[in-house]
Amino acid sequence: VSVLATGELDRLVKLLARLPGLGPRSARRAALYLVKQRESLLLPLVEALALASDSVRPCSVCGNLDTGNPCTICNDTRRDTSLLCVVEDVADLWALERSGVFRGRYHVLGGTLSALDGIGPEDLNIESLTARARAPELDEVILATNATVEGQTTAHYLSDCLSGTGVVISQLAHGMPMGGELDYLDEGTLGWALKSRQPVG
Ligand SMILES: [Zn+2]
């Protein structure tokens, strides 16, 4: 009987295996590594997880994850309030922040429309987006959904929703590889796609 048959380690492995990108094999390796590095890794990780669980919440304005509400980006008065960039997920927001080219604010949808997965407009942060799009200081909404079928379907739907608001609606430049997800693009490509954005319609 291996040591992994014991309840606690088995539970740790099973939980780790649910993380994106970690299969059962790498979960076993990670669990073993963690318990071996008790002082230098396991305990600091426990602390960081507890802190994140206590204090990280979605921003009620944009949907970003942060310890403050509104989040640091929404609260930053140096950011351009005339530009709003719509992304699928917080990971995409982080990718755009890494590229360093966007100085406006964000709106996180929380996913994409998908008939297959039964995700409709009411499951995404779309109502709050149309409300934000009516703010008098807003000039442009950039639809920065992924270059996937779902991402593009969602962008199409959003441009219809926003067409009555009077803002300019734009989309990341083509040349983004089809099937491309923002999070996997290098910062230069992503920055270029944003700078070369095209008006929709
Ligand atoms: Zn925010």
For residue range 126-175, list pLDDT tens digits in order: 999 999 999 999 999 999 999 889 999 999 999 999 998 999 999 988 66
Q: Measure 166 CA to ligand 1 centroid, in angstroms.
A: 23
Q: Please tell me the distance from the alpha carbon of residue 91 to that of residue 106, in angstroms, as a whole number.
A: 12
Burial letters 109-125, b for 16+ CB under 10 A, else e: bbebbeeeeebeeeebb
Percent of the chain with pLDDT over 90: 76
Q: Given the structure tokens 């980006």, which residue do they identify? A: 73
Of 91, 128, 77, 121, whose CA–CA distance to 107 is shortest?
128
* 68-84 mean pLDDT: 96
pLDDT digits (tens, 9 = 90+) for 1-24: 455 457 889 999 999 999 999 999
Q: How much is the pLDDT for 182?
A: 80
* 100-110 mean pLDDT: 95
Whole-number Cα distances in Å, 27 to 31, 43, 49, 118, 168: 6, 18, 17, 30, 46
Q: How much is the pLDDT for 177?
A: 63
Q: How much is the pLDDT for 1?
A: 41
pTM of the model: 0.83
Of 17, 1, 53, 10, whose CA–CA distance to 35 is shortest?
10
Q: Measure 66 CA to ligand 1 centroid, in angstroms.
A: 8
DSSP, collapsed to helix, strand or coil, labels residue 87 as strand
Q: Measure 179 CA to ligand 1 centroid, in angstroms.
A: 27
Q: Which residues, 6+ apart, have CB-to-CB distance to 97 below 8 Å?
A: 73
DSSP, collapsed to helix, strand or coil, labels residue 147 as coil
